[in-house]
Structure formats: structure tokens, C-alpha cells
Amino acid sequence: MHGFRPKYAITPQVASALMRIEAAKEAVSHLPINAAVLASLRETARLYSTHYSTMIEGNRLTQEQVSHVVEKRRHFPGRERDEREVLGYYAAMEKVEQFAAAKEPLSEYQIKLLHALVMAGGSGRVKPTPFRDGQNVIRDSRSRQIVYLPPESKDVAGLMKQMIAWINISAKQGLPCPLRAGIAHYQFATIHPYYDGNGRTARLLTTLILHLGGYDLKGLYSLEEYYARNLAAYYSALNVGPSHNYYGGRAEGDITGWINYFCRGVAESFENVRKHAQSEADTGAADDSSLLRGLDPRQRKALELFRETDAITSRNVEHLFSISQRAARNLLADWVARGFITVLDAARKSRKYGLANDFKTLVS
């Protein structure tokens, strides 16, 4: 196997989309948005991403049902598998935010852990998933004809290492982040390193690369919605090369068409965020986004509790994150140590916690 060298051209359409992306990114970065509103918009974007990414794979839950499953752990009879898919994707999105906040280069560990979360259905701790050890054939769901034959399992590990190395090197060389993200999406789908969950993991990988490159737009966009609006165009853009066999030309295919499709989607998604964020900023609310960015995903979610009450207990946290009482107490102790919350009532059985003064503006 040779080093990964994607073949594509920067067409006028791609160049135009890149300029639109930069303009929207710059505009959103300077918009003053109240942190409480920002947190709400960000949560909505996460729920949209979860709904549309799982819908692409055949999930039958509606947007409203996805919200109920994630936020209230509500169950829908006969939709247990759909619920697990939703919880898994949402958990993986939270991990994407954690990885992005750490600002470490993309790694194989990150990809394997994201896939593990996708497949775990939101159940407890997970271990990074090893790549497949056998062949994976993608067939048309109706005709059962072979749509794509990925590389053999013996080549997968090497191809993934090449892809990750290319992403990190191209970042240092200054290749525009949207191009890196789009190419990574395509190459991951091409390698198809797992038996299942490849599409969802590819879309999460795309988001992670954009966030690592500073293209997070305050966490307010959902590329998954762009894909889901026209699935035929999504799959058509990904279908590159003269053969359905990886070794029959797919690896050397010109992916300019996919790059056009992808960059146009990022531009549209970013411009939608710009319009929505502008309307929120026009209310004149102060921008506390820098304060909010200093919190991890669980702390941001815990703000929901403080919008309803001034004091919370370990039981509130236990229910919010579906974790054990011991884990909830450990989490609260960590937040006290980090200055996020303070102890209001030190009584062992009824200990209560309040939001630290520095963060009260986030829920006012």
C-alpha cells in the first residue's frame, strides 16, 4: 500500500463554497449571544444531528421522540433498537466536544472510541472498538446486489493509519479545514473499517475535524440535516470510481464531485447558523459564550438543572446522566474542586449544591 493521496480539484464551485464558509464563520464568531440562549441552541443542534444521522441509517424515531429519549429517557415500545442508536450517537457527540476541547491531534484511539460509543447505545463505559477482522460486503437493501466491496481486513489498519497521518500532516501544511473534513469523511467510508456503524462514525469524524480546526461555530450547526434532506445526492456523491470493488479503482478515484457536494453543504449549514444566530444576537443579550466554552459537556448539561432550581442533589445528577449514585457523588465532588459548584448543605444524607457565582449569569 502507498501513502494516501486524495485526487481532487479546487473547482470554482469549491472555491466559492470555501469563501462562503469563511464569511459565515467569521460573522458568527463576533455575534454576541446570551450564554443561556447559546446553550439551548447548541443542545438543539446536537439533537438535530443525532436525529438526522440515525435517520440516514433507518432510525424511525421522530425529532420530538429523539428529544424525549435523550432528555427524559422516555421509552417507545417496539423502538428499543432505535432508542439505543440515538443514545449512542448523542453520547458520541458529547465525546467529540471533549476531544475538541482537549485540542489534541486526531488519533486512532479517538476514532475507535467514537465508534464504541455509537454502538454501545449510551450504556456505561466502553472500550475502543478494534477494526474488523473479516470482509464486509455492502449490498442494496432491496435487490441484495453488491453495492460496494471494501478493502480486505488485512489492509484496514494500514489504510486507517495513512488516513490519520494525512489528516494531521495536511492540517500542519495549512490545507483548509473543510477540505480535510470532507476528504476524511470520504476516505473513512471508503475503508469501511467496521462491520456496522461506519456512516455514523464517518459523520462524527467530520464534525471532530471541523471542531479541531476551529470550525465549530459555537456548536450550532448540523451537517447531518444537509445529508438527510437528499439521501440520494449524499450516496451519489460518495459513489466514486469505475468499480464497486475497492481494488478496482475506488482507491484512485477523483473525488472532486464529493468535495463539491460536501463544501456546499458546509456553506449552507454555516449560513443557516449565521441567520439564526444573528436573530438571537439582535435581542441585545450579552455574549457569555467564552464562559460557556470553559465548561465540559456534562457541566453544560447540568446547567439545565440550575435553570429550574437554585440547589441540586446527587440524585438529580444521577437521573440527568443515568449514572450510579456513587458516580454522581464523585462527579459533584469533582465539580466542587473545579469551582463549578459549591456545597450549600454539608449534611451527608441531604447534601445540596449550588452553582458557583461566576456561572450564575449562564442561567439567569
Cα 117 to Cα 130, 154, 203, 204, 319: the distances in Å are 13, 24, 14, 11, 20
**Residue 96 within any structural domain of the chain:** yes
Check if the beta carbon of residue 220 is closer than 8 Å to that of residue 45: yes
What φ, ψ does residue 28 adopt, rounded to 5°? -65, -35
Residue type, 114: L
Claim to verify: residue 26 and residue 142 sit in the same structural domain: yes
Check if the beta carbon of residue 356 is closer than 8 Å to that of residue 342: yes
**Residue 5 within any structural domain of the chain:** no
**pTM (2 decimals)?**
0.81
Claim to verify: residue 320 and residue 351 sit in the same structural domain: yes
**Residue 2 within any structural domain of the chain:** no
Claim to verify: residue 223 and residue 310 sit in the same structural domain: no
**Residue 236 within any structural domain of the chain:** yes
Predicted local distance difference test score (pLDDT) of residue 44: 86
**Residue 288 within any structural domain of the chain:** no
Enclosing domain of residue 182: 12-281
Claim to verify: residue 71 and residue 167 sit in the same structural domain: yes
Angstrom distance (rounded) from CA 364 to CA 349: 29
H or E element that contains 170: helix 153-172
**Residue 310 within any structural domain of the chain:** yes
Claim to verify: residue 224 and residue 357 sit in the same structural domain: no
Look up residue 336 and give its three cell numbers: 466542587
Total structural domains within the chain: 2
Report the largest interatomic distance among the alpha carbons of the chain, rounded to a whole angstrom: 70
Claim to verify: residue 217 and residue 342 sit in the same structural domain: no
Cα 307 to Cα 64, 85, 196, 312, 363: the distances in Å are 21, 29, 39, 11, 5
Claim to verify: residue 228 and residue 308 sit in the same structural domain: no
DSSP per residue, 290-318: HHHHTS-HHHHHHHHHHHH-S-B-HHHHH
Predicted local distance difference test score (pLDDT) of residue 2: 53
**Residue 275 within any structural domain of the chain:** yes
Claim to verify: residue 313 and residue 191 sit in the same structural domain: no
**Residue 111 within any structural domain of the chain:** yes
Claim to verify: residue 230 and residue 353 sit in the same structural domain: no
Sign, CA dihedral 263-99-251-85, equals negative
Among candidate residues 281, 316, 343, the one where a domain is terminated: 281
**Each residue of 267-303: pLDDT tens digit?**
999 999 888 878 877 765 555 666 777 788 788 888 8
Q: What is the pLDDT along the chain (364 residues), one digit of tens a residue?
A: 457 889 999 999 999 999 999 999 999 888 777 766 777 788 888 889 999 999 999 999 998 999 889 887 888 988 999 999 999 999 999 899 889 988 899 999 999 999 999 999 877 789 999 999 999 888 876 777 888 899 999 999 999 999 999 999 999 999 999 999 999 999 999 999 999 999 999 999 999 999 999 999 888 888 999 999 888 899 888 887 666 788 887 777 899 999 999 999 999 999 998 888 788 777 655 556 667 777 887 888 888 888 778 888 888 888 887 788 888 889 989 999 989 999 987 766 678 888 888 888 777 6
Among candidate residues 281, 312, 337, the one where a domain is terminated: 281
Angstrom distance (rounded) from CA 312 to CA 250: 55
Check if the beta carbon of residue 207 is closer than 8 Å to that of residue 111: no
Claim to verify: residue 250 and residue 325 sit in the same structural domain: no
Claim to verify: residue 171 and residue 308 sit in the same structural domain: no
Among candidate residues 252, 281, 310, the one where a domain is terminated: 281
Q: For residue 49, give the CATH number of its domain.
A: 1.10.3290.10
Q: For residue 335, give the CATH number of its domain.
A: 1.10.10.10
Q: SS3 of 364, please? A: coil
Predicted local distance difference test score (pLDDT) of residue 319: 80
Claim to verify: residue 144 and residue 251 sit in the same structural domain: yes
Sequence-distant (6+) residues with CB within 8 A of 95 are 113, 114, 117
Q: For residue 340, give the DSSP letter.
A: S
Sequence-distant (6+) residues with CB within 8 A of 355 are 303, 306, 310, 340, 341, 342, 362, 363
